Amino acid sequence: MTEKGIFFAGPDHHAVEGLLSAAGLPVEDIHLCSMDHFIGYRTPSGTLSGVAGLQLFGTVGLVRSLAVASTLRQQGIGQQLLKQIEQHAVAQGVRQLYLLTTTAKPFFLRHGYQEADRAQAPLPIGQTPEFSGLCPATASFMHKSL
By CB under 6 A, is residue 135 in contact with ligand COA? no
DSSP string, 63-116: EEEEEE-GGG-SSSHHHHHHHHHHHHHHHTT--EEEEEESS-HHHHHTTT-EE-
Residue of 43, 79, 84, 96 that binds ligand COA (CB under 6 A)? 79
By CB under 6 A, is residue 21 in contact with ligand COA? no
Residue of 15, 35, 56, 107 that binds ligand COA (CB under 6 A)? 107
Number of residues that bind ligand COA (CB under 6 A): 18
State whether residue 40 is helix, strand or coil: strand
By CB under 6 A, is residue 58 in contact with ligand COA? no
By CB under 6 A, is residue 75 in contact with ligand COA? yes
CA 16, 18, 23, 29 torsion-angle sign: positive
By CB under 6 A, is residue 16 in contact with ligand COA? no
Residue of 5, 16, 23, 30 that binds ligand COA (CB under 6 A)? 23
State whether residue 4 is helix, strand or coil: coil
- Spacing of C-alpha 84 from chain mean position: 10
By CB under 6 A, is residue 74 in contact with ligand COA? yes
Burial of 47 (0-12, 13-18, 19+ CB in 10 A): middle
Q: Which residues bind ligand COA (CB under 6 A)?
A: 23, 25, 64, 66-68, 73-79, 101, 103-104, 107, 110
